[in-house]
Amino acid sequence: MKELSKITESFSESVIREMTRVCDAAGGYNLSQGFPDFESPKEIKEAAIAAIHKEYNQYPVTFGEPELREAIAKKAARYNGIQCDPDTEITVTCGSTEAMIATLKAIINPGDEIIVFEPFYENYGPDGILSGATPRYVTLNAPDWSFSLEELEKAFNKKTKAIIINTPNNPTGKVFSREELQQIAALCVQWDTYAITDEIYEHILYEGEHISLATLPGMKERTVTINSISKTYSVTGWRVGWAIADKKITQRIRKVHDFLTVGAPTPFQHAASVALAFPNEYYETLRAHYQKARAFLVGLLREAGFKCAPPEGAYYIIADTSTLMAELDVDNDFSFSSKLIEVTGVATVPGSSFYSIPSKGRNQVRFCFCKKWETLFAVEKAFKKYFKEIGKY
């Protein structure tokens, strides 16, 4: 048989999603892939069921049902301070995952470079490869995940087509400050670079404020703002996301989107438009739960001997495993992760999944805490049992 594509040879399937399969096979506690195990809000589920009964069961408008685009535009104006035209500047996609790759496909030419902060959300690696962009990485330095302005300046050049920003950030929990975003914006303007911001954790924020890069001077026409209902409304399986961008960029994104997926599920788009009008109280309750879960898991991990800092946003914790490697008789992030699930039933994501050079994540694993108390307490019990046996606690 003839050789398959060279491009798809150069990356592997997602480790994050593989860890869910490993966890399910072991009957473990899934603190690996970031999705909630508690019930999704009743109102959004009822809205989806109602939409199905109302016969919203056929193809949607390719780039998004008008009702949802209206709701997104209103929410973007109210919450993010982004004014956009729902008819020409919004594309509804199958999750933010599709929004990101469709955007890259829409703007990248061979030889173009993209800047990515590292550690990064796993998808951005293959996204870059599939779109043909050459990535340049700028380090987010533990423990506060700050970056060096000098390093960022050096990453920009004539070939820089876009920079990807994810705030609040997965996996570090970093919330980019206004000053940092201003530095990024100034460089984007100076080098005539697009910015693609993944803001799906905008409501899951414990410190600082969420700022949409598109609202900074000179950025609206060059920024693609990506979001989704997955994390905010705990419906990660519904696959409804979107990209907000200037009309010219949107025209290109819509073409890619149309031929990739035709459209995101119609009934869930209608349910999404209901959810986007939830009262403030909904977001406050969500945030309050995650804030408590964050404190709980950080405490538990520190007691067990991991080194970690409370994330400023999102629902992940990068934990340093250096001091536990010998005790677990392992020597890298993959063997640590396997051993941990074997001895405690707790699934994590090996740190190397978030780096261009795997060795950089050798002493790290990522935990997520978007779980109900029952799960978190079961993790506590399993951890205390095992770590007591090896002399911790």
Among 103, 170, 228, 250, indicate the residue that binds ligand GLN (CB under 6 A). Answer: 170
Total number of residues that touch ligand GLN (CB under 6 A): 7
CA distances from 383 to 111, 165, 321, 327, 393 (A): 48, 34, 14, 14, 9
Residues 102-141: x/- map of binding to ligand GLN (CB under 6 A)? -------------------x--------------------
Verify binding: residue 17, ligand GLN, rule CB under 6 A.
yes
Query: Tokens at residue 338, please?
Result: 């396997």
Contact between 388 and ligand GLN by CB under 6 A: the answer reads no
Type of residue numbered 137: Y
The answer to whether residue 167 forms part of the interface with ligand GLN (CB under 6 A) is no
Question: How many other CB atoms are found less than 10 A from the CB of residue 183?
Answer: 16
Q: How far is the CB of 200 from ligand GLN (least distance, A)?
A: 8
Closer to ligand GLN by CB, 131 or 170: give it. 170
Residue with tokens 């949107």: 250
Please say which residue, 238 or 386, places its beta carbon nearer to ligand GLN: 238
- CB of 17 vs ligand GLN, minimal distance in Å: 5
Residue ranges in the chain assigned as alpha helix (H): 15-26, 42-53, 66-75, 95-107, 124-131, 149-155, 178-190, 247-261, 266-275, 280-304, 325-328, 333-344, 373-389
Please state, in angstroms and rounded to a whole number, the distance separating the CA atoms of residues 362 and 358: 7
Among 184, 171, 116, smallest CA distance to 312 is for 171
Residue 33 interacts with ligand GLN (CB under 6 A): yes or no: yes
Q: Does 16 bind ligand GLN (CB under 6 A)?
A: yes
**123/177 with CB nearer ligand GLN:** 123
CB within 8 Å of 224: residues ≥ 6 apart: 99, 103, 194, 195, 196, 197, 243, 244, 245, 249, 253
When the beta carbons of 17 and 248 are compared against ligand GLN, the nearer one is: 17
Q: Give me Rg for the CA atoms of the chain.
A: 21
Task: Of 217, 169, 116, give the one whose Cα is nearest residue 315.
Answer: 169
User: Minimum CB separation from ligand GLN for residue 121, in Å?
Assistant: 6
Contact 365, 321 (CB under 8 A): yes
Rounded to the nearest whole angstrom, what is the least distance from the CB of residue 34 to ligand GLN in the complex?
3
- Tell me the closest approach of the beta carbon of residue 338 to ligand GLN, in angstroms: 18
Q: How many residues does the chain have?
A: 393
Taking the C-alpha atoms of residue 72 and residue 84, their distance in angstroms, rounded to an integer, is: 9
Task: State yes or no: residue 34 binds ligand GLN (CB under 6 A).
Answer: yes
- Residue 97 is a binding residue for ligand GLN (CB under 6 A): yes
> Smallest distance from the beta carbon of 86 to ligand GLN, in angstroms?
26
Q: How far is the CB of 123 from ligand GLN (least distance, A)?
A: 7
Q: Which is nearer to ligand GLN, 14 or 335 (CB)?
A: 14
Is 13 or 281 the residue whose CB approaches ligand GLN more closely? 13
* φ and ψ of 194, to 5 deg: -80, 155
Contacts of 164 by beta carbon, 8 Å cutoff, 6+ apart: 100, 114, 115, 116, 117, 120, 124, 196, 197, 198
Q: Is 169 in the site for ligand GLN (CB under 6 A)?
A: no
Site string for ligand GLN, 230-259 (x = CB under 6 A): ------------------------------
Contact set with ligand GLN (CB under 6 A): 16-17, 33-34, 97, 121, 170
